[in-house]
Structure 1
Amino acid sequence: MDHINHSWTQSFILAGFTTTGTLRSLAFLGTLCIYLLTLAGNTFIIVLVQADSGLSTSMYFFIGVLSFVEVWYVSTTVPTLLHTLLHGCSPISSTACFIQLYVFHSLGMTECYLLGVMALDRYLAICRPLHYHALMSRQVQLWLAGATWVAGFSAALVPAGLTTTLPFCLKKVTHYFCDLAPLMRLACVDTGWYAQVHGAVIGLATGCNFVLILGLYGGILKAVLKLPSAASRAKAFSTCSSHVTVVALFYASAFTVYVGSPGSQPQGTDKLIALVYALFTPFLNPIIYSLHNKEVKEAVRRVTDRIGTILREP
């Protein structure tokens, strides 16, 4: 292959989804509604955790941090999706493309580590109840939350940095945002080595964290089964059910797309699966954490009563 004219392209074209007419309009309106509801739901969780003292535990602190991550995570890609649905193929500068790639993966890695920290919090609450408040003090909570951001933005440097060094022959990205797999398909060179490095870094980060979560929940299951009454076991399991559901959604889609060889899936597959972890999971998270959560419902009632009292005052 002739590489003389191959250079670092100055821009890419995001192809998005090939929809037209009424279907495109419906897709745009549906995506916009989900996006706005996602922002509203996660912002609601953040505000509620801050406003109600009854949710001042470490579990809700980390749920609030997760919602904060989700607001930025969904905002990294969905505006681009809305633009491509509205206008069709959209140009994006190489700088903006690589920044989007880096920020998206950084926030994804941050969420990955945060889910591990939340599993640790549940483990300590159930398996070390007498030492829980000392082990999970406010200072420790802040340190752990900060560590997830540092770890996430550090881990994403490798795949994002390597991708910027590739020479690209083509400009049309068969995706609605800049991601590893669709960008690697545009490269002029063999990307086998790059794919192996990407798979190793992302697989190691997500895989080790997943093993940690499984180990912690193994300890939780063992401790819960030793509880004397069915009611106490049910209560212990209920505090973990929401987190387990979110972990299952996150890792099922992440492993499907990123673990292995990025770019090896059929072109349409990664785009569709991306909708799950980049759009629907952030939308579902606040619903999962609040729908069957008695403490959240009580907190909503207390905050609503407080606001009502303030408004009734002369």
Structure 2
Amino acid sequence: MCHEEIEHRKLAAGGRNAVEAGRTAICLVGAARRFELTGPSIVRNVLAQYPQADLFLSPMGIQGLLQYFNLVQGCMDLIKSHESRENFTYDWIVRTRVDGFWAGPLEPSSFIPNTYVIPEGSRHGGLNDSLGIGKRDISAMALSRLSTPDNLVAAGYSGLNSETAFLTQMKLGQVSTQEHSFQFCIMSDRRYSFPPSQYTTPVASLDIHGPLNGAKCRPCRDPYVGQEADEIWAKLDTNRGWVEWRNGALGLCNATSEWEKDWGEVFDVMVGPIAAAERKRVAAMSVEECVSDLGVFMGKTAQWKSPDPVHICQLGLAKRTIVQSISS
């Protein structure tokens, strides 16, 4: 039995305690879309599962693929800076998105030595890049996205999207990858044509009974389910590697319009009492309470590369007021 397999079996046997025996960095990247919903789920199902881990935050500024690569690589830069100051190196790095809603915990079985673990599905011809877990050296290779374009061009590649660039990057770096199932999805306010055409992005219903692995999602009343949903999924481009949908496993939302006016009630029914209670608490939150909560969140971070909590709360709660006035 090789050393890597022995270590993986120890991790599997020891579970969360075995992971916590090493140092773990958890980095959140991207825009805080629907953070009032995603934030509590990340705290509960990711951060609280590994309380000894250090948190890093790298928020989105401008849009675009290069900016996304900059965010991902910026995550590694923050970690390196902290390591240098504190004179140690992390054993594990988890990179996920701020706009990801977690319906279940991040399991210790996803920590595998010498392998970069990613979600199943949503491959778009390459590798799903909405989440990644790996040892520090492998993660450093996986998170070096900003230097990817030049390296790929030098190797003769062009015209790649984020997922195919990621796949090629990992192949060139000879990094082993493995797909796992994860109970999280990416909250989306974007509008998409429906029913989705062969190359259009589908939006899954948040009524989660299985792993969504980073698929786009939203709460919606009367989602398309069962055979009706299966017939729509079957028409989509299989090369994109969508999440498992067969036998009615995944419902679909008609995302041609904004979220429904009563989306909060729909969300509460779909996600269960804990997440529903968190949403209601945030919906009634004052700026002072928001700042206090963000202060606790900020206290968990090793580095906070983000606006001041007061500014975040004033901006976020102002937007909430506008949305509520429109919906009423």
Structure with larger Rg: 1
Which protein is richer in strand relative to its size?
2
Report the TM-score, using the length of structure 1 for normalisation. 0.27
Which protein is richer in helix relative to its size?
1
Relative contact order (C-alpha < 8 Å, sep 6+): which is higher? 1
